[in-house]
Structure 1
Amino acid sequence: MRTQHAVRNIRLCTKDCLCLYVCPVGASDTENGQIDWEKCTGCGACAVSCPSGAISMMPDVLPAQQKKTEAVIHSLTALADSKMKEEAAALKTAADTSDQNEKKLAAALARSNRIMAEDLIREAGYMLPQSANAHELLVSMLDDPAGDFPVKTAEELIEMLKVNEQ
């Protein structure tokens, strides 16, 4: 029984296409850059052979979200909020200054704060696809979708992603 499957990061793929030659079931498709989930047996040959490191093996069943106390979640959320404000301030600085060195520094600070905020939000339980928080967030977005919100995709995700919490 398969326990994992291959996924490709298109941004890392250098089109060396060794995955095509080593996949015993032809699950790798370079036309659309995807790996056919249904064909993939999870052997990992493509991931081992990929010279650009664009293919990773993902477990078929994701682990349960680690429990956090309310105090920890509150702290993580407060820190994430501050990082988002700092990112906005850095972006404004980058837009307002004419000095190229200041623009570069402000852009770097904005990027750094974005990464920290994403990590904090993930740790608070909102970025793991199998968490109840992520599921509830998607459902709430469907209740009041923004203009170009991908409703059909969100509905498919809600159907596909099974909540896994203990």
Structure 2
Amino acid sequence: MAQRYAVRNIRLCTKDCLCLYVCPTGATDTENSVIDRARCTGCGACADACPSGAISMAPQTYPPQQPKAAETVRALRALAHERARAEAAAAALPGRMAVALEKSNRVLTEDLLREAGYMLPQSNRVRAFLQGLADNPPGEGFPREAAEGLLRSLSWTEPEKEAPTERWRCSVCGYIHEGPLPEGFICPRCHRPASVFRQMES
């Protein structure tokens, strides 16, 4: 199997179609414009030929995400929590300015959470997060099937770690957190601090 494969960004594609002529296997010639990963040999001819820069080469396997210092993660999560509160406040206000504030705070929150450890969707941290959502949905109407579908469909780049032995229960809402309880942790369901969690007996 090749070490990389071609990916097309439809937004950048200007339909010059040079990729169709240079691809040795026809992987670029599909009905939905998505390059066929199974047929792609990773030669890079399509990316080299594309005049609009719409094709790039992605690795088959991503390296494990590099860890951040605990103080940095705590600061990023605290900022993300504040941005989420600002988003909720803006959502309750009328007008176009409030909509803009809501969206900008959402983007900032997502970026902070990515930097805090969820940058690579194939990492163990994301797998544990999705598994937690599937096992303990944060509320009624949560699309549990979507979380389970992502768990099945994502290609994980890190070997699965053994299940953590520590389990903590929120004394307010009953949410169960598996693994060590980090400093500055906030319950994803009721948004209470780590001090309301009680360790469960194994």
Counterpart contact for 1:63–1:164, Cα < 8 Å:
no
SS at match of 1:19: helix
For 1:142, give the aligned amino acid.
A
Q: 1:48 to 1:76 in 2, by over 3 A?
A: same
Percent identity, aligned pairs only, is: 52
Partner of 1:154: 151
Larger helix share, 1 or 2:
1
Instruction: Summarize deviations over 1:116-159 as a string: whole Å, max 9, x none.
Output: 222211111123123221011122233246347323343122xx
Counterpart contact for 2:124–2:156, Cα < 8 Å:
no
Partner of 1:47: 47
RMSD of the TM alignment (CA)? 2.6
Separation in structure 2 between the aligned mates of residue 117 and residue 51 of structure 1, nearest angstrom: 35
Compute the TM-score of the two structures, normalised by the length of structure 1.
0.76
- 1:20-99 alignment runs, 5 A limit: 20-93=20-93, 96-97=94-95
Q: 1:45 to 1:111 in 2, by over 3 A?
A: farther
Matched, 1:109 2:109: no
SS at match of 1:29: coil
Separation in structure 1 between the aligned mates of residue 149 and residue 103 of structure 2, nearest angstrom: 30
The runs of 5 or more residues in structure 1 that have no matched partner are 98-102
Compute the TM-score of the two structures, normalised by the length of structure 2.
0.65
Partner of 1:133: 125
Higher-RCO chain (CA-CA 8 Å, sequence separation at least 6):
1
Separation in structure 2 between the aligned mates of residue 148 and residue 33 of structure 1, nearest angstrom: 30
Q: Which has the larger radius of gyration?
A: 2
Count of residues in Structure 1 that have an aligned counterpart in Structure 2 = 155
SS at match of 1:124: helix
Separation in structure 2 between the aligned mates of residue 92 and residue 19 of structure 1, nearest angstrom: 48
The runs of 5 or more residues in structure 2 that have no matched partner are 161-202
